[in-house]
A = this chain, B = another copy of it.
Amino acid sequence: MEDIITLDYGSGGQKTSELIESLLLPAFDNPALRSLGDGAVLPGAENLVFSTDSFVVSPWKFPGGDIGKLCVCGSVNDVCMAGGAPRYLSLSFILEEGFPMQSLREIAASIASQAKQAGVIVATGDTKVVERGKGDGIYINTACVGFLRAAGLGKDSIRPGDAVILSGSAGCHGAAVMMARAGLAQGSALVSDCRSLHQLSEAALCAGKIRILRDPTRGGVATTLNEFVEGTAFSIEVEESAVPVDPPVEAACDLLGLDPLYCACEGRMLAICAPQDADAIVSALRTLPGGEQAARIGTVTGSYPGRVVLHTRLGGTRILAKLTGRQLPRIC
């Protein structure tokens, strides 16, 4: 590890893992934390799921959402991905002196609307203010408590032959925020996928045997897939042609030099499931808003232990590594 914190440590990729595994995890080690899921099933209160996220997205408003919508979806989705039904949200602001009251009002309205949609209440909160130049307008932390709905999710249950499902197109959120940051979002068809996953995760859990769920946020689909198999005897083989990517995302990524597979999603779900249930799960997802493009994108195999491999459209095969360093700072 380096001597100082760099932006890479916040990327959600290799450096973030390094920070967690070599500094944070050893300090706080316990079974709940060790699973390194998006949310934790609480030891001694196994009916409860708990998650947290801080949001520092820049700009705070982007096509398809804002930091308010994002901060609800982020923590709600983490509870969903841990197999929980989200119910209670905590909400804490770090505001920079000079932030417009009208923007705060707009963000509060966005939080309220998204919370209603996701079926959670803001149960408790906090507000801090820092001096001008010690923040960037607004940072928000949310934590979410929910009730466990499906126990035993986790990478330990993944088996060769399992199917890998993605609930929608890759990389919309990351591409939309980067275009907004570059001042290029106006008039573009590019919209963040930011959305609460409570319905999609519930539908997947009802439709078949799910091994693990995770939303591919920082580091994108490629990094999350790597988290599923790293340190195991299994690999994931992905068919590039099966991964839905919207044309405006493709175009934006070309323009910005990004790869959609490494761009953050904020309303997509990766699911690994028993092979015989894959079709039923995909069909169930496709009936729901935000799941219309759900697709089976790959398979768990034993051919490349611990690795994710992409079978490209051109017939080639390449390793899809975890994101190293930063691709997109402050994407959420």
Contacts and interface: CB of A to CB of B under 8 A. Distances in A.
Interface of A: 1-10, 16, 19-20, 23-24, 27-28, 30, 32-33, 39-40, 42-45, 48, 50-56, 78, 87-88, 90-102, 104-105, 108-109, 111-112, 115, 121-131, 133-136, 139, 141, 143, 145, 147, 329-330, 332
Contacts of A139: 94, 130, 139
A28 B112 contact: yes
Given A100-B4, A101-B3, A9 B122 contact: no
A126 to B, nearest CB: 5
Given A3-B102, A5-B101, A101-B1, A88 B127 contact: no
Contact of A56 (B27, B105, B108, B130): B130
A60 B8 CA distance: 23
Interface of A, secondary structure class, is mixed
A94 B134 contact: no
Contacts of A94: 54, 56, 94, 139
A30 to B, nearest CB: 5
A6 B42 contact: no
Contact of A33 (B19, B121, B128, B329): B121
Identical copies of this chain, number: 2
A128 B5 contact: no
12 contacts: A5-B98, A10-B129, A27-B108, A28-B115, A33-B125, A42-B123, A42-B145, A43-B121, A43-B123, A48-B48, A54-B141, A92-B143
Residue of A16, A111, A143 ringed by the most chain B CB atoms within 10 A: A143
Given A42-B145, A145-B48, A95 B9 contact: yes
Given A24-B127, A28-B108, A30-B122, 9 more contacts: A5-B96, A7-B131, A20-B125, A23-B105, A50-B143, A52-B90, A52-B92, A131-B329, A139-B139
Contacts of A136: 130, 134-135
Nearest to A326: B129
A28 B91 contact: yes
B108 A23 contact: yes
Contacts of A8: 129
A88 B52 contact: no
Contact of A27 (B78, B111, B129, B131): B111
B126 A52 contact: yes
B87 A44 contact: yes
A105 B23 CA distance: 7
A52 to B, nearest CB: 4
Contacts of A98: 4-6
B10 A100 contact: no
A136 B43 CA distance: 34
A219 to B, nearest CB: 13
Contacts of A44: 87
Contacts of A23: 101, 104-105, 108
Nearest to A10: B129
